[in-house]
Amino acid sequence: MVCDCSGKNPNVFYEAGIAHAIGKEVILITQSEHDIPFDLRHLRHIRYLPNGEGLADLSTSLQAKLRSIRGW
């Protein structure tokens, strides 16, 4: 599950908590590391810029993360 923490949307954190509780892998992404709550900052996250180049980099980073999760 990919959760975009940008803007500190409470629903995103709720869904991330549910996914974590049932054992699903959660990938946190954000435009600003300040949007990651203190109790989740120990988890790795992917920071991105909301422009063409930033989104292309995000895509590459997400693909790499998914490959590492799946063991490819």
Q: Where does the pLDDT of residue 70 fall: very low under 50, low under 70, confident under 90, or very high at 90 and above?
A: confident
Question: Three-state secondary structure along the chain?
Answer: CEEECCCCCHHHHHHHHHHHHCCCCCEEEECCHHHCCHHHCCCCEEECCCCHHHHHHHHHHHHHHHHHHHCC
For residue 35, the model assigns a pLDDT of 95
Domain span holding position 35: 2-70
CB atoms < 10 A from the CB of 65, how many? 16
- pTM comes to 0.88
2: which strand partners?
27
**Residue 72 pLDDT > 80, yes or no?**
no
**Residue 53 pLDDT > 90, yes or no?**
yes
User: 63 or 70, which is more confident?
Assistant: 63
What is the mean predicted confidence (pLDDT) over 19-25?
Answer: 94
The amino acid at residue 52 is G
